[in-house]
Amino acid sequence: MSSSASMSSSALAAALGAPPAQQLTRSNFLLWKALVLPAFRGANVMSLLDGSDRAPAKTVEVEDSEKNKIQVPNSAYVDWMARDQQVLRFLLNTLSPDVLSHLLEVTSTAEAWTAINAMFKTASRTKVQHLRGELNDTKKLSMTADQYYTKMKSFASELSALGKPVADDELLGYVPMTCAMESRRMAPLYLLQIWRAAVISALVVARLLLLVFAVLTVVPIVEVVAMATVMKTVATGDVTMIVAAGAVMSAVVTVVTVEMTDVTDAGMMVVVIVSAVLMVVVGV
Instruction: Report pLDDT digits (tens) over 244-279.
Output: 555 555 555 555 555 544 445 555 555 555 555 544
Report if residue 86 sits inside a domain: yes
Report if residue 66 sits inside a domain: yes
Report if residue 227 sits inside a domain: yes
Q: How far, in Å, CA of 193 to CA of 181, rounded? A: 12
Cα–Cα distance list, 203 to 70, 209, 246 (Å) = 80, 10, 36
Return the top range by mean pLDDT from 117-121, 169-173, 183-187.
117-121
Host domain of residue 18: 2-122
- Indicate if the pLDDT at residue 144 is higher than 70: yes
Percent of the chain with pLDDT strictly greater than 70: 59
Of 122, 143, 164, the last residue of a domain is: 122
The 10s digit of each residue's pLDDT in 67-89 is 888 889 999 999 999 999 999 99
* Number of domains the chain contains: 2
Report if residue 186 sits inside a domain: no
Report if residue 160 sits inside a domain: no
- Indicate if the pLDDT at residue 64 is higher than 60: yes
Report if residue 269 sits inside a domain: yes
228: left (phi over 0), alpha (psi -120 to 50) or beta: alpha
Report if residue 165 sits inside a domain: no
- Indicate if the pLDDT at residue 9 is higher than 70: yes
Contact 41, 49 (CB under 8 A): no
Q: How far, in Å, CA of 132 to CA of 46, rounded? A: 31
Assessment of whether the complete model's pTM goes beyond 0.85: no
Report if residue 238 sits inside a domain: yes
Of 89, 122, 155, the last residue of a domain is: 122
Q: What is the pLDDT of residue 5?
A: 45
Of 100, 122, 144, the last residue of a domain is: 122
